A and B are shown apart, each in its own frame.
Chain A
C-alpha cells in the first residue's frame, strides 16, 4: 500500500491515542514523582507534573524495612519452583492431549475442561489443603495452582497446529517409544510455547497474593505481595492523619505527623519497587505473552 495522506479521521485518532497513552502512563508516572518528592508537597497537591522538594528518604526507609526482603526472597523461591512444577504438569499432558489418534482423548479433555466451569469453591478447597497438611507451609505456595487448564489447552493447540505429525514418523520407524519421541523431538520444537508458558506461570506466581491470604500467615513464609498488602492497604486507617490526631497529645502530634507523611511517601516508593522489576523486563518479553493469546485464539 502506498503512503496515504492524513485525513481528519487520522488526526482525531492520533489525538485520542495520545490521550489514551496519557491516561495509561500518568498514574504510574505520578507514583514515581510522588515517591521522590517531599511528602508534604504531595499531600497539598503541589506535585502534579514533576517532583517537588526532591528527596530519597522514602526509598531509604523501604530498603531498611526487613519484611520486604524476606518477601522478595520468598517470592523468588515460590516463582522458580512453582513454575517448574507447572511446566512439569502442563507440557507432557498437553503433548498427549494433542494426539488425535489417542483412544479416550475426548474423555480426558472433558475431565480437564469441567474444572474450568465447575469448582469445589473456597471452603472445600481450604479444607482439603488443610487435611493435606499444607496450611502454613512453603509447599502450599509452590504446589497450589499447579496447572491452569487454559494454559494446558493453549499448549495442546500449539502441539497440534505447529508441529507436523510427520516429524514424529522418522523416530517411530527407528523404534523410539512415545516418551523418547516426546523428549527428543517434540520438546526441542516446543521451545516457543515453553517460553510462553514459563512467563505466564511465572507472572502468575509473582503476582499471587490470594493463595498466601488463604493458606499462609507465618511471617517468615509470606510472599512479597502479602507484605505489600500489609503496608499498602491494611495500614490505611492506622496511617490516616485524622485517626492519629484523636489519640495523641499535641507534642506527639508534630512528631507523628512527620512519621505519617513519610509512611505515606513510603507507599509510593513501595509500589514502584514492587512493580519495577516486571515493568523493566516487560518490553522484552511482551511478544511472548501476545503469542500466547494468539495461540489460544486458534480454534481447532
Chain B
C-alpha cells in the first residue's frame, strides 16, 4: 500500500491545497464546536475555558421563545417543501411545448431570476409588496387600506415562500428536463398506439420515468428542513414581522455575533445541524423503503 501510494505522490500533491483548505476552514470550526460545552472566553482559549457540559443546550430548550423559533422555522420550511412539486409540474409542461424556439425562450426567461443576488431579490420583494409597489396597490384595491405587506405578520410566510418559487422554480426544472429527455421515445410511442392521451402519457410514462430524480431531490429538500435560508429571512425581517420571522439561524446570529454569547449560540447551531442530519437520514431511509432509490 505505502509503496503504491509513493508511486502516486504527484497525484496526492494535486489534492493537497484543497485538503489543507478544508482542514482549516471546515474542520477548524468543527473543532471550535467544543465551546458549546464550555463557558468560552476568548482570553482563556478553547481548552482553558470552563466546562459546563450541556448547560447551554438546556438553556436553549427551556428558553421561553424556543417553541416559537421552532414553529417559525418549521412552518417556513414545510411551507417551502409544499411548493416542491412546482418545478416538476413546470418541467413536465415545458417538455410538452412543441415549438422549439418558444421552448427555448421559456427556459431562458424562467432560469434568469436564479442569478439575481439575494440582496437584489429581497429589494425587489420589498419594492413589490411595499405601499407603492404593484402588489401593495393591489392590496389597497381590494381592502381599501394602504399597507406595506411585509409588516403584516400573516403574510410573511407567503411572501417568503412564493418569492422563492418565483426565483428558483425555472432553474429547478433543468434537472427534471434532463431526466425527461432520457425517457425513450419508444415508450411514448407505444403508449400513443395504445390510445393514451397526452395527460395519460404524462401520468403513466413521464412521471414514473423521472421518479428516481424526484425522490433524490425530495430527500435533499427534507434534509434542509431546519436550515431555512438565513440570508433571505434576515433581509426581509423588520420590527413588525419579527414575531413570525425569527428563526433558529437568525436567532443564532443575533445572540452570537451581535450579542457576543459565543458558547450559547454555538450550542444552538450544533442542535440545528444535528436535527438536520437526523431528518436527512430519516427521509433517506423512508423513501428508500418506499421507492428503492436513495441518496446513500
Contacts and interface: CB of A to CB of B under 8 A. Distances in A.
Interface of A: 3-4, 6-7, 9-10, 13-14, 16-17, 20-21, 23-28, 30-31, 34, 42-43, 45, 48, 88-90, 92-93, 95-97, 99, 102-104, 108, 111-112, 115, 117-128, 144, 146-147, 152, 177-179, 182, 203, 206-210, 214, 225, 228-229, 232-233, 236-237, 264, 267-268, 270-271, 274-275, 278-279, 282-283, 286, 289-290, 293-294, 297
Dominant secondary structure at the B interface = helix
Contacts of A28: 124
A117 B126 contact: no
A268 B124 CA distance: 8
B231 A9 contact: no
Given A108-B15, A126-B256, A286-B111, A117 B119 contact: no
Given A43-B132, A90-B18, A93-B18, A278 B252 contact: no
A117 B277 contact: yes
B10 interface: yes
Contact of B32 (A20, A90, A125, A267): A125
Contacts of A120: 26, 28-33, 269
Contacts of B90: 20
B166 interface: yes
Contacts of B124: 27-28, 31, 271
Nearest to A20: B110
B231 A210 contact: yes
A225 B28 contact: no
Contacts of A108: 15, 19
Interface residues of B, number: 89
A233 B93 CA distance: 36
A127 B116 CA distance: 30
B213 to A, nearest CB: 7
Interface string B205-243: 000000001000000000100000011000100100000
Given A90-B18, A92-B14, A93-B17, A233 B123 contact: yes
A207 B32 contact: no
Contacts of B166: 23-24, 27
Contacts of A99: 8, 11
B107 to A, nearest CB: 8
A289 B4 CA distance: 38
Nearest to B93: A13
Contacts of B24: 128
A112 B22 contact: yes
A17 B102 contact: yes
A207 B117 contact: yes
Contacts of A270: 123
Contacts of A23: 166
- For the complex of A and B, the 8 pairs showing the least CB-CB separation, nearest first, are A120-B29, A124-B32, A121-B269, A207-B117, A93-B18, A178-B10, A92-B14, A124-B29
Given A89-B18, A144-B25, A209-B231, A96 B11 contact: yes
